[in-house]
Amino acid sequence: MREHLLNYITYCETFFIKMKPTFERLPKDVVPVHYELHFTPNLADFTFTGSSKIQIKINQDIDRITLNSVDLKISDVLVKLENGEVIKSTETVNITESEIANFLFEKLLPKSDNASLEMSFEGELNDKMKGFYRSKYLSHPELEERYACCTQFEATDARRCFPCWDEPAIKATFNISMTIPQDRVGLSNMPMIEEIKHDNKLKTLKFSTSPIMSTYLVAMVVGEYDFVEGNSDDGVHIRVFTPVGKKDQGLFALEVATKVLPYFKDYFQIAYPLPKLDLIAIQSFAAGAMENWGLITYRETMVLVDKENTSLIRKQNIALTIAHEIGHQWFGNLVTMYWWNNLWLNESYASFVEFLCVNHLFPEYDIWTQFLTDMYTPALDADCLENSHPIEVEVNNPSEIDEIFDEISYNKGASVIRMLHNYLGDDDFKKGMNLYLTKYQYRNTVTENLWECLEEASGKIVRNIMRTWVEQKGFPKVKVIQNVQEDNHRRLVLEQTKFTADNSLDEKSFWMIPISISTPKSENAFTTVLDKKEIEITIENVSANDWIKINPSTIGFFRTQYTSEMLEKFVPAIKNLSIPPLDRLGLHDDLFALVQNGSNSTVESLKLIKSYSNEDNYTVWSSISTSLSKLKNILSHTDLTDKFNAFGKHLFTPLSEKLGWESKPDETHLETLLRSLILGKLVSFKDEKTCEEAKRRFYLHKEGKQILPADLRMTCYRGVLQNADEKVYNEMLELYRATDLHEEKDRISRALGSMSDITLLQKVIQFAMSEEVRTQDAVFVIASVAINPVGRDLTWNFFKENWKILLDQYSGGFLLTRLVKHVTENFASEEKSVEIEKFFKHHEFAGAERTVQQSIETVRLNCKWLQRDIAEIREFLKDY
Ligand code: BES
Ligand code: ZN
């Protein structure tokens, strides 16, 4: 046995496999019932002290209590028994790697239903945007540098703020109080019930008792804020907190939130259970937003709307984000996943219902079409990789938990729920959700519980179908292997196989696929659940020239491969727009995916794209643009960039001439989005006329003569920066410094990466790492350089040289995975993939392991794609 172990260790060392500490779940011999927590943050020296009284249940006689704690100094630990007896702890043993504290007692603690565990603790208000952390801001109007403090606990960082049973299934109630300066606002999950002013310029705020909830949803904020307030129809007090002097920027969020609450109340048939809901903009914030019960925290750009300076696409994202986090108040907060392997129950549902809700509130957004480009396609792209993972995936270590906040848990999860919603119909789906939420409220669930409720409500098979989507990675390709016209009907043979990014065969995987088919004569010509490898079906009332669309509205989570003869039949319908937008989008997107995995040729898809010349739908163009960017990226490793730019100009110019630069008086939301997309594309294809106009408008804007509409700013900034010299670069920095709107700072700093001068790009990276850019934003500035072919090597080298600083800054957060992905995945050669692999073998990036593997795989796929199709593409581009 020992020998075995030694061999194994040598094996691991040889291959640089570092064994991660095993994480054990907390013992359940002692569990909390209620926490009384008091905090005193010190905003001058960035420390805090706290004390807790936790009502506990001791399930058996025991001489130690184990709970989670990290980076806290704990003292005065004792247990008070029901009879008043006090048993002091003799020692606290912290096990840092396991994020655990063990309190040892000299005397056995007797089994008890009502004991009290009491202690004091202190910690740092850190600058890592997790746990209890500090957030820098400039005061209004003096512009003094000051700090607020706030919490971000999901997934496993409540333990950095107070010692606790930090697992989602160990729910308890909370009474929170805080002592803070009198001139600061203090907020928590629940409404304040008492304010006591002290002589020393401090005050103590006490908040009412929370419902039974998970630790990761506890929240506090202390700082200087203004707010706007209102009541939702159903009587919930809603406030939106903004930086001082900017309360108008909270009005849009307030309006949305007051409508979202009643919408969900009606949809789920359960009222929001708290008396208040606060939304607050936090200057330093790692994620986009966080659903803390009753106190939702947001990045500024995810909640603040400035009348003149906020673009429509941002406003739309803000509406989605608000709906997402409010959706969590039911999915996640009221009913919580049992353990993080079921994270998808939280995130997929919130990601699905945000679209349901925004579709209801803002029909003009046509948001379900945008679901395809925002959620569905990125999910398919991520999930065809060998290094993808099942929606439900085993996780133990905190860094493993962090890494699954990804396209699979969010996008694939939301996409398969959309498919399920469609299969069950809205009524039964709603009924099932209501059953689930009612049955499990204030408790925890596993996926199985959801299937049960949906089956009960609908009387349809759910479990057997959904298990094939949730428990295995990947998704199918449905291929038409026979297509025969007989009289007035068509006989088709469909076959399912796994869709793989490298087109490798996988015989083992199999899905139960709800599938439907449409024709020009019938939106719903055929429906079934494809539960075999192969089926033969007959579609009635079809003539020989009719197209047959598999997966109408692109609802099913799979790719479709047609015969070329069938594909050709779509061309007239694409040209005259007689087939619906969701289908036009799906046809292009499926074919392009088949191009990337080598089933079809790139030129075939470029020819299909040319038949979209009359296309007027924003989202269809957005999908085509994304595909062209992928192609442009691999071609940037060749001499074909100019030719490809010419192709792009040719494709987009007619549309830009139709749309112009000026918005029409009563144009639709989608027309505005389309204009900024198309002009943006023309800038990226280096179209001279567009770039010139962009410059002209930029300088009018800069000189205060004619304000640029927010929707066109990114386009103009890029247009100006593409050929910028140092003078222009500095002008941009001036603009960056002049604005105090986070959105505008993002826009400028992310445009900087489009410059063509390598010395200036070097400066951009230095700028990103400077005090002037918040760490949460730097990742995206660096990414903007990395995705520019001129900056690609530069950024990768910077990353390799500064890995220690970057790792320290971003460790254990999802920003780390974003950074790793952006700086690595755009290469396209075997040597680079080997280099990346080697680097990460020698430098451990905990929490980015899967991302690294995905990047290496992507680089190899890029390389193969290029080798496979380059000659043919060269030939095709000759005409441009
Ligand atoms: N629960 C998450 C926040 C979160 C993300 C916590 C990652 C821990 C790690 C929240 O509900 C969320 O999903 N936020 C999104 C924005 C949303 C609109 C998709 C985010 O932060 O990106
Ligand atoms: Zn979420």
Measured CA to CA, the distance from residue 716 to residue 698 in angstroms comes to 6
Show the tokens assigned to 854.
């995905």
324 Cβ below 6 A of ligand 1: yes
What H or E segment, with its residue span, contains residue 588? helix 581-596
Which among 634, 714, 640 has a CA at the least distance from the CA of 675? 714
Strands (E), 232-266: 237-243
**Which residue, judged by its Cα, is nearest atom 15 of ligand 1?**
288
**Residue 22: pLDDT band with limits 50, 70, 90:** low
- Is 347 annotated as contributing to ligand binding? yes
∠ CA 635-640-643, rounded to 5°: 120
pLDDT of residue 257: 98
> Number of C-alpha atoms within 13 angstroms, CB side, residue 185?
18
**Which residue, judged by its Cα, is nearest atom 20 of ligand 1?**
288
Query: What number is the average pLDDT over the span 487-502?
Result: 97
pLDDT of residue 873: 98
pLDDT of residue 21: 56
Which among 807, 294, 196 has a CA at the least distance from the CA of 823? 807
**Which residue, judged by its Cα, is nearest atom 13 of ligand 1?**
347
**Residue 234: pLDDT band with limits 50, 70, 90:** confident
**Residue 811: pLDDT band with limits 50, 70, 90:** confident
CB 151 within 8 A of CB 221: yes
Residue 667 annotated to the active site:
no
Show the tokens assigned to 604.
């075939």
**Residue 45: pLDDT band with limits 50, 70, 90:** very high
35 pLDDT more than 50: yes
Closest approach atom of ligand 1 to CA 288? 21
15 pLDDT more than 70: no
* Mean of per-residue pLDDT scores for the chain: 96
SS3 240: strand
Query: What number is the average pLDDT over the span 216-228?
Result: 98
416 pLDDT more than 50: yes
325 Cβ below 6 A of ligand 1: yes
The 10 Å Cβ neighbour count of residue 363 is: 10
Output the CA torsion sign for 584, 590, 592, 594: negative
Query: What number is the average pLDDT over the span 588-593?
Result: 98
Query: What number is the average pLDDT over the span 764-789?
Result: 98
Query: What number is the average pLDDT over the span 262-279?
Result: 97
Å from CA of 290 to ligand 2 middle = 7
Q: Which CATH number fits domain 25-123+157-212: 3.40.50.300, 3.90.1150.10, 2.60.40.1730, 3.40.50.2000?
A: 2.60.40.1730
628 pLDDT more than 90: yes
Sheet (strand 276-282) strand order: 225-231, 237-243, 276-282, 295-299, 289-290
Q: Which CATH number fits domain 366-470: 3.20.20.10, 1.10.443.10, 2.60.40.10, 1.10.390.10?
A: 1.10.390.10
Measured CA to CA, the distance from residue 527 to residue 518 in angstroms comes to 9
287 Cβ below 6 A of ligand 1: yes
**Which residue, judged by its Cα, is nearest atom 6 of ligand 1?**
154
SS3 508: coil
Measured CA to CA, the distance from residue 77 to residue 65 in angstroms comes to 11
Question: Relative to the alpha carbon of 168, which ligand is closest?
Answer: 1
572-581: per-residue pLDDT in tens? 999 999 999 9
430-450: per-residue pLDDT in tens? 999 999 999 999 999 999 999
Residues forming a β-bridge with 181: 202
Q: H-type helices in 663-725, by residue range? A: 669-684, 688-702, 710-721
Measured CA to CA, the distance from residue 728 to residue 158 in angstroms comes to 46
Q: Which CATH number fits domain 648-877: 3.20.20.70, 1.10.220.10, 3.90.1150.10, 1.25.50.20?
A: 1.25.50.20
pLDDT of residue 23: 80
pLDDT of residue 233: 86
By most ligand atoms within 8 Å of CB, the mutation choice from 152, 279, 290 for ligand 1 is 290
726-748: per-residue pLDDT in tens? 999 999 999 999 999 999 999 99
Which of these is catalytic: 99, 124, 154, 325? 325
Domain map (residue ranges) of the chain: 25-123+157-212, 366-470, 475-638, 648-877
pLDDT of residue 11: 40
CB 242 within 8 A of CB 250: yes
Query: What number is the average pLDDT over the span 838-850?
Result: 96
242 pLDDT more than 50: yes
Given this chain, do its domains 25-123+157-212 and 648-877 carry the same CATH topology? no
Closest approach atom of ligand 1 to CA 332? 1
pLDDT of residue 24: 83
**Which residue, judged by its Cα, is nearest atom 17 of ligand 1?**
321
Query: What number is the average pLDDT over the span 87-101?
Result: 95
Show the tokens assigned to 505.
């065969």
Q: Name the percent of the chain lying above pLDDT 90.
A: 96
For the 475-638 domain, the top CATH level (class) is mainly beta
By most ligand atoms within 8 Å of CB, the mutation choice from 160, 300, 314, 324 for ligand 1 is 324
Alpha carbon distances (Å) from 83 to 132, 198, 634? 35, 34, 73
State the Cα torsion 566-568-571-574 to the nearest 10°. 30
